[in-house]
């Protein structure tokens, strides 16, 4: 009887050791990827006008784009697109909240960096909805959303792209910070 209790505890200890080893190995496998992601975010911060480790930004850095510069209620973003691939892009917001321009990636980053609570940016490929819970990347269309300091309370706007009759529409909704003061 005493012998069976030892076998039971030994099997529990072996199971715990296996779980610990599995977690340890998973951690070792994930650390390099997490460090690269952290480096990419850290290198995109600050007011310098460089791409850092943002791979999307680096891949389009030297290109000339049409820009939509959006700002409302302290919520900002930039849409970059090429007129060759995206013909009709219409923002569904009042015209006083955005302006059109031409420029490069550096111009887009500079526009965002003029906000006082700016701490970095993230480039994203634009996607449009193609059905329930599915979307497709729109070639030649990029969105640059700022990252703000946490103490400022500002957030980038929410946006969505849709296509109807060959016309591409972007709906932008600012995320306003409400103070309890």
Q: How does pLDDT run along the chain (181 residues), one tens digit per residue?
A: 455 556 678 888 888 999 999 999 988 888 877 776 665 555 444 445 678 778 888 888 888 998 999 988 778 889 999 877 777 888 888 888 899 999 988 888 888 888 777 778 889 988 887 777 777 888 889 999 888 776 666 778 888 888 888 788 888 888 766 555 4
Asked, for residue 50, whether it belongs to a domain, the answer is no
> What pLDDT does 177 receive?
61
Asked, for residue 98, whether it belongs to a domain, the answer is yes
Asked, for residue 178, whether it belongs to a domain, the answer is no
> What pLDDT does 63 receive?
87
Domain count, the chain: 1
Asked, for residue 107, whether it belongs to a domain, the answer is yes
> What pLDDT does 36 receive?
66
pTM for this structure?
0.68
Distance CA 141, CA 168 (A): 11
> What pLDDT does 47 receive?
41
């Amino acid at each position: 009887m005493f012998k069976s209790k030892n076998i039971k505890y030994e099997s529990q200890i072996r199971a715990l050791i296996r779980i610990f080893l599995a977690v340890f190995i998973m951690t070792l496998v994930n650390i390099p990827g997490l460090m690269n992601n952290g480096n990419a975010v850290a290198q995109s911060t600050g007011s310098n006008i460089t791409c850092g480790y943002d791979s999307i930004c680096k891949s389009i850095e030297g290109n000339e784009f049409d820009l939509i510069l959006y700002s409302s209620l302290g919520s900002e973003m930039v849409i970059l697109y090429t007129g060759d691939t995206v013909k009709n892009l219409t923002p569904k917001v009042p015209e006083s909240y955005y302006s059109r321009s031409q420029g490069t990636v550096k111009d887009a980053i500079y526009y965002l960096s003029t906000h006082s609570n700016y701490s970095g940016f993230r480039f994203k490929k634009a996607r449009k909805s193609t059905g329930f819970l599915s979307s497709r990347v729109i070639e030649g269309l990029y969105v640059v959303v700022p990252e703000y300091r946490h103490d400022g309370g500002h957030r980038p706007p929410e946006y969505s792209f849709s296509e109807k009759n060959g016309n591409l529409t972007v709906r932008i909704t600012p995320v306003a910070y409400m103070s309890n003061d």
